[in-house]
Amino acid sequence: MFGKKKQPPIRTLVGEGTLIHGELRFNDGLRIIGEVLGDVTALGDGSSILVISEKARVTGKVSGGHVIINGTVNGPIRSTELLELQPRALIVGDVRYESLEMH
């Protein structure tokens, strides 16, 4: 309704206290609360959502459709739809986006 696309479901969670070392690829939706040392990439050409929560840390490239950041990212970010920066977002790296929303 009113031209707004429905968000894909978040099917995967990297929980608090979890450390992933290596590339992380996902479909649909991903929420990170833990730590990822490696690239985080949305698969396919469909819409995706990536949420990097307040306590989360990602060291590597981040790529997705709708990317919401409230944690720490050390590396470049590419958002093909919307990059949403929430109050506690900390980014060290280049950002590319279709549209930007800052809280």
Q: In this predicted model, what pLDDT tens digit does every residue of 60-94 receive, in sequence order? A: 999 999 999 999 999 999 999 999 999 999 999 99
Question: Residue 3: which pLDDT band, with cuts at 50, 70 and 90?
Answer: low
Query: Taking 90 as the threshold, does the pLDDT of residue 51 lie above it?
Result: yes
Nearest Cα to 83, choosing from 61, 103, 98, 62? Answer: 98
- Mean pLDDT, range 38-50, rounded to an integer: 89
3-state DSSP call for residue 100? strand
Separation between Cα atoms, residue 94 and residue 89, nearest integer Å: 14
Entry pTM: 0.92
Burial of 82 (0-12, 13-18, 19+ CB in 10 A): middle
Kindly state the percentage of the chain with pLDDT values over 90: 86
Question: Residue 6: which pLDDT band, with cuts at 50, 70 and 90?
Answer: confident
Q: Cα(first)–Cα(last) distance of the chain, in Å? A: 25
What DSSP assignment string belongs to 38-82?
Answer: S-EEE-SSS--EEEE-TT-EEES-EEEEEEEESSEEES-EEEEEE
The pLDDT value recorded for residue 1 is: 43
The pLDDT value recorded for residue 97 is: 96
